Amino acid sequence: MKSNHHSLPRQLIDLRIAHADLDARIDQGTLQGMPDDFLVRRLKKRRLALRDEIDRLERALQPQEPA
């Protein structure tokens, strides 16, 4: 992904979509009794990394308060 300031809102949208997709995939797999525990752990780890990146971008987009 590009890292210029103008693309941050778009990156944030893309990350939120990817996070929601992983949520759905994990939920669907859990409900269906996904047999591969390793896959579930990998998906959850990826979802957590996306959440961390979303938090980082949200902080970057917030206006800085004067000290």
Is residue 1 scored above 80 in pLDDT?
no
For 16-29, how does the pLDDT look when each residue is reduced to its tens digit (9 = 90+)? 999 999 999 888 87
Query: DSSP string covering 21-64, please?
Result: HHHHHHHHHHHTT-S-HHHHHHHHHHHHHHHHHHHHHHHHHSPP
First to last CA, the chain: 32
| pLDDT in the model for residue 8 | 86
Any idea where the domains of the chain sit in the sequence? Answer: 5-61
Task: Report residue 62: phi and psi, to 5°.
Answer: -75, 140
